[in-house]
Amino acid sequence: MGLFSKSKKKNVALNDVTKEISDDFISNNINEKENTNENFKNEMVMLSDTSSSISNAIQDVNNSLSNLTTATLTQAEEINNVNNILANFNNHMEQLAYNVTNVQIAVLDTDQVADAGLNTFTDLDESLKSLQHAFTIVSSTVNSLVSKLESVNTITDSISQIASQTNLLSLNAAIEAARAGEAGRGFSVVAGEVRKLAENSKQSVESITKILDDIKSDILDTSKAMQAGNSAIDNQQKTLLSTKSSFTDIKSSIGDSIQEIDSCIENLTVASSEKDNVLSIIERVSTISQEHSALCEEIAANMDLQTTSLEKLDDTISSLNNQL
């Protein structure tokens, strides 16, 4: 009885200890589980916050990509506009080059005409000089003829005076022969013949003098005409020299124009080359812009996928929080 009682007391005590240990274990397990759940909840909250932050960051990236895509499209439009402008510029440059080439051909033709004109003026100048020289010789010859005619007139005047004196002497001889009578008859006949000869000589001299006067008048008229012609040649030569000088100036101006046109063509060639370089650069920029736009679209698509995944993660976290 006493033994049973002691045994019973021991069993009760053991049961109490076991119960105490079991209660402590359960309490510890519950506390540990509660702590674990609390930590898990905290981690879920942190994960949710991180997910929200990532989602916001992705949204910001999407907004930036949207703005970048818009800017890229705007840039592409501007590049296209620049391409159109350069295309029009290229057409204008080609038309300008065509016009400049036509001007160059016309100027070269004018230059050839100017050369031909200068050669013609040179030949004409030489001809006028030859003609002027001939006029000078003829004028000198005419002046010499006038001088010789003056000498002939002097001689004919002398002959006329001699004829007059001879006529006077024959008249005196006839008078003396008449005084001599029959003895002077033969001398009287001779004196009469001499008188006739003197009168004929005088008439011939007068005729010669008249002819010489007419010749002299004609020569003087010719001399005046020669002087007028020589003066006209001088004026013509002055005009020719002035015109030749003008042609020389035109030739010089044409030469300057040819140099300016050549310089213009050279500048057009350089500008065309630079234009081609600009077009090449713009084409490369356009290609890069298109690649950039495609890359932005690809990144945006990936961001959308990430956003969807984060939304699913948020849903999962919310579901776990509700279960806890």
- The whole-number pLDDT of residue 29 equals 53
Q: Which of 154, 151, 147 is nearest to 219 (CA)?
A: 147
Q: CA-CA distance, 37 to 324, in Å (whole number)?
A: 7
How many other β-carbons are positioned within 10 Å of the β-carbon of residue 219?
20
pTM assigned to the model: 0.47
Domain containing 224 equals 2-323
- The whole-number pLDDT of residue 103 equals 79
Residues 6+ apart with CB under 8 A from 149: 212, 215, 216, 219
- The whole-number pLDDT of residue 14 equals 44
Tokens of 318: 């919310």
Q: Which of 131, 2, 53, 40 is nearest to 306 (CA)?
A: 53
Q: Position of tokens 């020289």?
A: 133
> Which domain CATH number covers 152?
1.10.287.950
Give, as one character, the DSSP assignment of residue 324. Answer: -
- The whole-number pLDDT of residue 317 equals 65
- The whole-number pLDDT of residue 185 equals 67
- The whole-number pLDDT of residue 71 equals 72
When pLDDT is averaged across residues 107-135 and rounded to a whole number, the result is 80
Residue type, 125: D
Q: CA-CA distance, 123 to 269, in Å (whole number)?
A: 42
Q: CA-CA distance, 195 to 217, in Å (whole number)?
A: 32
Q: CA-CA distance, 198 to 170, in Å (whole number)?
A: 9
**For all residues of the chain together, what is the average pLDDT?**
74
Tens digit of pLDDT for each residue in 62-79? 777 677 777 777 777 777
Tens digit of pLDDT for each residue in 137-174? 888 888 888 888 888 888 888 887 887 888 787 777 77
| Between residues 143 and 41, the one the model is more confident about | 143
Please say whether the beta carbons of 251 and 111 come within 8 A. yes
- The whole-number pLDDT of residue 1 equals 44
Using CB atoms within 10 Å of the CB of residue 77, give its burial: 0 to 12 exposed, 13 to 18 middle, 19+ buried.
exposed
Q: CA-CA distance, 67 to 89, in Å (whole number)?
A: 32
- The whole-number pLDDT of residue 2 equals 40
Query: Angle formed by the axes of helices 2-180 and 185-323, to 10°?
Result: 170
Tens digit of pLDDT for each residue in 251-288? 788 788 778 878 887 887 887 777 778 778 777 877 77
Please say whether the beta carbons of 193 and 173 come within 8 A. no
- The whole-number pLDDT of residue 25 equals 46
DSSP character string of 276-310: HHHHHHHHHHHHHHHHHHHHHHHHHHHHHHHHHHH
Tell me what percent of the residues of the chain surpass a pLDDT of 90.
0
Residue 22 has pLDDT above 60, yes or no: no
Q: CA-CA distance, 168 to 160, in Å (whole number)?
A: 12
Q: Based on the structure, what is the number of domains in the chain?
A: 1
Please say whether the beta carbons of 164 and 202 come within 8 A. yes
When pLDDT is averaged across residues 14-20 and rounded to a whole number, the result is 47
Please say whether the beta carbons of 69 and 293 come within 8 A. yes
**pLDDT grade, residue 24 (50/70/90)?**
low
Tens digit of pLDDT for each residue in 181-221? 776 667 677 777 877 887 888 888 888 888 888 888 888 88
**SS3 readout for 61-87:** HHHHHHHHHHHHHHHHHHHHHHHHHHH
When pLDDT is averaged across residues 312-321 and rounded to a whole number, the result is 68
